[in-house]
């Protein structure tokens, strides 16, 4: 998978995580306290300045009672 593809997928997941966090009125500090991810790292992740590992994305999601689901889809041509 090309780097730009990896970024696209993680960017889409990050956008969903941010939307869910804001919808439930959670702060970055709340996520930090629940996930063990340092708040500055959450800020970098949310500003798309970091390429997070699957572990970090999963911990972020889990801190809000969510899981990340990966599924295969047919490639667009």
Q: What is the pLDDT of residues 22-62, one digit of tens each?
A: 999 999 999 999 999 999 999 999 998 888 888 999 999 99
pLDDT bin (cut points 50, 70, 90) of residue 7 is low
pLDDT at 18 over 80: yes
The domain spans of the chain are: 21-66
pLDDT of residue 1: 41
pTM, rounded to two decimals: 0.82
Helix axes 39-46, 3-23, angle to 10 degrees: 120
Which phi-psi region, left, alpha or beta, contains residue 2 (left: φ > 0; alpha: ψ -120 to 50)?
beta
């Amino acid at each position: 998978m090309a780097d730009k593809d990896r970024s696209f997928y993680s960017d889409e997941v990050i956008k969903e995580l941010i939307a869910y966090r804001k919808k439930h009125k959670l702060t970055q500090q709340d996520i930090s306290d629940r996930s063990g991810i340092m708040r500055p790292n959450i800020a970098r992740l949310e500003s798309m300045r970091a390429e997070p590992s699957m572990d970090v994305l999963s911990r972020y999601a889990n801190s809000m009672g969510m899981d990340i689901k990966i599924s295969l889809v047919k490639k667009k041509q």
